[in-house]
Amino acid sequence: MGILEGKVAIVTGSGRGLGRGVAIALAKEGAAVTVLGRTEKFISKTVSEINSMGCRAMGMQCDVTERENVDKVVAATVETFGDIDILVNNAHDIPHGIHFEAFPEEELRKCVNSGLYGMFNFMLACLPSLKKTKGKIINVLSMDCLEGHNGFGFYPATKMAIRALVKVAANEWAKYGITVNGYMPIGAGESLADWKKYYPDQYEAATSQIALGHWGDPITEIGGLVVCMASDFFSYVTGTTEIFVDGGMRKSWIVK
């Protein structure tokens, strides 16, 4: 029996990448997981992987920026699995190779809407359920909001806003028994491959700064941390935003 047996989780942006790893890790520990994304083939593959392990999952396409869409996902999850215990806000469009002075307004809106508004929509939509379960909200942050690396545009600014709202929600929703935390991962997902393509020098410099010598495995290392955060072992932790899952990479590795 896993440490999350009987729990119900929603993981946004979990068709592939680190979100996929988190969804699989939660399911392996007993949670029923709703897998969300925009691309049906990725969602179906992740759900199939989870089901093939004898674990429970269902998949839905979801535009996190549309509150009506989000409400449908939450209602379907509750109807299928029961009230929600765990919400992982992972979905976020990440721009690559766009410098500040050239950042188009369309990309700015996409970045803010997918990350900040997506998180906001799911937190509010899940709140009635989370009140009943005294649930856990886990928001994915980024070391980019601390370093401001080249070419990421307004992504770090959006992550910083999410970081601030983690603390606000943690304070305001503590009365319901809900905990709200954030973590900063570096892992071997698809966005890492994109970053390597656009900024090979930064990629090599960053890799050389990882004390453990490798990028985090999405399931065992990134997902493993989220399992702990979603469990009772984290019941007295809330409002924390500097949980680094980075293999010991704590230096500024920016390449000019």
Q: Extract the runs of DSSP E, i.e. beta strands, from the chain.
A: 8-11, 32-37, 57-61, 86-89, 136-140, 179-185, 243-245
Q: Are 96 and 152 in contact (CB under 8 A)?
A: yes
Q: Is 38 helix (H, G, I), strand (E, B) or coil?
A: coil
Instruction: Tell me the per-residue pLDDT of 163-182, one tens digit each, with 9 for 90 and over.
Output: 999 999 999 999 999 999 99
Query: Which whole-number Å values give the CA distances from 241 to 18, 84, 140, 256, in the listed order?
Result: 18, 22, 9, 28
223: which 2 tokens? 């997902």
Q: Are 28 and 76 in contact (CB under 8 A)?
A: no
Least confident piece of the model among 9-13, 43-47, 149-153: 149-153
Tell me, what's the pLDDT at 101?
65
* Amino acid code (one letter) for 28: K
Q: Are 244 and 182 in contact (CB under 8 A)?
A: no
Active site residue 117: no
With tokens 């691309």, the residue in question is: 39
Closest CA to 226 of 154, 145, 137: 137
CATH fold, domain 8-245, is: Rossmann fold (3.40.50)
Question: Which helix (DSSP H) or strand (DSSP E) does residue 129 occupy?
Answer: helix 118-133
Total residue length of the chain: 256
Q: Are 119 and 41 in contact (CB under 8 A)?
A: no
Tell me, what's the pLDDT at 250?
61
Instruction: Tell me the per-residue pLDDT of 183-194, one tens digit each, with 9 for 90 and over.
Output: 999 888 777 787
Least confident piece of the model among 42-56, 99-113, 195-209: 99-113
Q: What is the mean pLDDT of the chain?
A: 89
With tokens 């892992």, the residue in question is: 187
Q: Classify the phi-psi angles of 176: left when phi > 0, otherwise alpha if psi is within -120 to 50, otherwise beta.
A: alpha
From the list 155, 183, 199, 203, the catalytic residue is 155
With tokens 């369309």, the residue in question is: 106
Q: How many CB atoms lie under 10 A from the CB of residue 201?
A: 11
Distance CA 26, CA 31 (A): 6
Tell me, what's the pLDDT at 178?
98
Tell me, what's the pLDDT at 96?
60
Tell me, what's the pLDDT at 232?
96
